[in-house]
Structure 1
C-alpha cells in the first residue's frame, strides 16, 4: 500500500469530523483548526502511510471544503503527529532513526492489533506477509527481523 500511495499523483483526505462551514476557510482557519487537531484521521494506524507516502495530499472538511494540503498545513500536521516537517516534505524516511519512525505510531489505533506492525512496513521499506491472528508482539518481531535483513543486505552490498 505504501508504494501505491507513493505512486499516486495526489491523495485526498475527507475529514468527516472536521467542520468548516464558513464561506472562506482561510479567513476562519482558527474555527476549524481546533477540530483538525482532534480529528480521528490522525489517530488511525493506516493513515500514517497515507500522510507520508504521497507527494501531494489535500484535506477536506465534512462539508467538502478544501482546508489545505500537506504543504500549507505542514506546521499543524507536524504539531498533531510529532512527525518532522522534513519527513512530511518527502525527505527519505531512512534519514530518520528507527525509534523516531516507530514513534510516529504513538497515539494511533488499529482495528486489528497486528496492523500496528503492518502499517509500518512501508515506513521501513520492507516487505512481509500479513498473518492475522499472530498478535501484535509477534508481528512487531517479524517486522524487526525484516528490518534487520535489510540492514544485513545493505552491509553485504557495501562490502562488494
Structure 2
C-alpha cells in the first residue's frame, strides 16, 4: 500500500502489519486529477492545478486530524502497472475499512442530495467500508457532518439502510439482492468497473479484464455463487428496456446491477437466504425445484 506523508508529501510503500495510521479520501474524479507520475513531477510547483490542490487540502485536513499519512486513489496507485492496479482494486474495500478516518469530499455540493458523489459506482464501497469516522466535507473543505449523524438523510439518498450507516447492523446481515440494489442506479465510467467496484462488498476477488464489457458482471455473480449460499442473487427482474440497453442475458445471471433495483426495500424470504447448499452448473442452479414458482426467476435463454 502506497501512502502519502501529509506534511513532507513523500510517497512510501507499506506492507501488512507495518501499515501506519492513515486518512483516506473518497471523492468524485474530475478534470485535472493528478496521477502518480504527475505528482512526482510537479510536487514542487508554485501554482498547482485543481487536482494537485485537492491532494494538498486532503493532506492538510488529515494532518489536522492527527494522521501523518494519507491514501488518495489518484496519486497513490501506479495505474501504468496492470498488476498494481489489479491488486489495488481487489484490496480497496479493505483499505477503506481499516482507515483511521475517511473524508468524503463533495466538490459539487450545493444541495447534498444533488451531489454526483452519490451516483458513482466506486463511492458505494467508500460509504460502506470504513469502520472509523466518515466526515463529509463541502467544496471548501469545511465539515458538513458525519455519516453516523446524517445516517437517516444518507439512507434516503442512497437506499442503504440507516442501521447499516449507523453501525448498528452489519453488512453480512443483508442479502446479496439487497446489496446489489444499492448499486442499481450508480454508474461507472468503464463498463467493467460496474462489477469491479463491488468486489469488496461481496468479499470476492477476481482478475481484471478490461475490454470484456458486461461479462465482468457475470463473472462477479459466478464468484459470489462460489462463496455464498444466498440464493437471492437470482431475484433480479429483467425489463425490456434493460435487455435492450445491455444486450446480455445469461439465464439465471443478471445482465447488470440495474436489474436488482426492486430488491432493496422488500424482504427476502428464508428460502432464498438460507443455508441450503447449491451450486452453479451449465444447466443452471442445482436443486432449484423449491424455487420454481417464483416469478422473479428469469427464464433461461
TM-score under structure 2 length normalisation: 0.44
Aligned to 1:135, which of 198, 206, 213? 213
Alignment deviations for residues 33-83 of structure 1 (CA, whole Å, 9 cap, x no partner):
xx1001000000000011000022100111221000111111111000000
- Report what 2:125 is aligned to: 49
Q: CA deviation at 1:94?
A: 2.1
Q: CA deviation at 1:18?
A: 1.1
Once superposed, what is the RMSD of the aligned Cα atoms? Answer: 1.6
Pairing of 1:10-159 with structure 2 (within 5 A)? 10-19=101-110, 35-55=111-131, 56-90=133-167, 91-136=169-214, 138-151=215-228
User: Greater RCO between the two (CA within 8 Å, min separation 6)?
Assistant: 1
How many residue pairs match? The answer is 139
Q: CA deviation at 1:151?
A: 2.4
- Report what 2:96 is aligned to: 5
Whether the 8 Å contact between 1:5 and 1:50 is mirrored in structure 2 is yes
Q: Identify unmatched segments of 5+ residues in structure 2.
A: 1-91, 230-274, 278-301
Q: Which has the higher helix share?
A: 1
Partners of 1:5 and 1:38 in 2: CA distance:
24
Q: Identify unmatched segments of 5+ residues in structure 1.
A: 20-34
Q: CA deviation at 1:100?
A: 0.7
Alignment deviations for residues 122-142 of structure 1 (CA, whole Å, 9 cap, x no partner):
111111111111112x11111
Partners of 1:94 and 1:130 in 2: CA distance:
25
Secondary structure of the residue that 1:12 maps to in structure 2?
Answer: strand
Please say which structure displays the higher CA radius of gyration.
2
TM-score under structure 1 length normalisation: 0.81
